[in-house]
Amino acid sequence: MTNFLKSLTKSAGWIGRSNGESSQPACALLSCSRSRSLWQRFRNRHRPTGVFLQGVFYCHPQCLETALISQLSRLRIMAPPPQPPNRIPLGLLMVARGKLTYVEVRAALEAQRRAHYGKIGEWIEKLGFATEQEVTTALALQWGCPVATSFDPSTIRTPGDIPLSILEAFQMLPVNYAASTNTLYLAFGERVDHAALYAIERILACRTQPCVAERKSIARQLESMRQLPRPSDVEFGPLNDLAEMARIASSYTARLSPEQVRLSRIGRFIWLRLDVGSNGHPNVRQNGRTAPRSITTNLVFRLATDATRSVPFTRPFRDLQAVAPPRTT
């Protein structure tokens, strides 16, 4: 009898340990009514079901799809944050530094107005009033950040790839990553967009710091990247159908079974990052050692509402007039 009770005690303890090991977070969906039996929890103890979306757990694909619809709906109707005004217009800054005259600035503004495209710095270069390096230096002073002189994105190990369509839309590139501080440095060829930096921080779970690089150098690097295959980037759009976006996202999560899904709105894009992790994937050799392979898929929805966005012009220098020299008596 004593041996029988001991065996029952051991069995109960083993079941309790197995149940504890196989425990997973409760589903965050309030309307979720699914509950698994003890046998189901035991059978899937080493193969937990469900996905973390924005750090919150959802136990079933239908629960995840409901949460995705809610998140995508919020991001789709979210108004893009207004661009903050520059501390000082670029042309006026270059006039103050003695790189331009007010006549040259007005000529560049007039050329921009007639052409209906391009940035003021681009027209200053086209008209031969200043070099690209001088414009880039002034741009760095305007935004209060350093200048990136030389970089090669292919040699940088970042915490994650940023989709090419987003890099092209904002004319930016990752130029350095400091693993000790988990900081990703991004160079902009035009306007520094802090809203985009914040969205990248949320997706990649890192800090970001902006810098400025020559516009043509950024464009050349992006063109080179466009020639390379990017199997992890999947873009859809222009698209504005909420149900279709949720269906596509749910289909990819069901097929890839990611461990973590993050999403954010970046300009006219909604970016979903699906981190599959190393479960079920072959290992790779790195520096003579075996390391798990981590697979990531980037889903990018290009929203139709912002497909035709006009390029904002720089504020005209209406108050910039020639100053007469003071009279001496």
Q: pLDDT tens for residues 261-288?
A: 999 999 999 999 999 865 444 443 444 4
Kindly list the domain boundaries of the chain, sorted by start residue.
Answer: 47-77+231-283+290-308, 90-143, 145-230
**CA nearest neighbour of 111 among 99, 98, 126:** 126
**CA nearest neighbour of 304 among 244, 262, 252:** 244
Beta carbons of 212 and 148 less than 8 angstroms apart: yes
Task: Give the mean pLDDT of 33-37.
Answer: 59
Q: What is the pLDDT of residues 285-300, one digit of tens each?
A: 444 444 444 588 999 9
pLDDT for res 292: 44
Q: How far apart, in whole angstroms, are the C-alpha atoms of residue 50 and residue 260? A: 10
pLDDT for res 7: 55
Residues of 76-110 as b/e, b for ≥16 C-beta within 10 angstroms?
beeeeeeeeebeebbbbbbbeeebbeeebbebbbe
Q: In the beta sheet, which residues pair with residue 298? A: 233, 273
Q: What is the pLDDT of residues 107-145, one digit of tens each?
A: 999 999 998 888 888 999 999 999 999 999 998 998 889
Task: Give the mean pLDDT of 167-189.
Answer: 93
Best CATH choice for the domain 145-230 from the list 3.10.20.880, 3.90.226.10, 3.30.300.160, 3.10.310.10: 3.30.300.160
Specify the pTM. 0.74
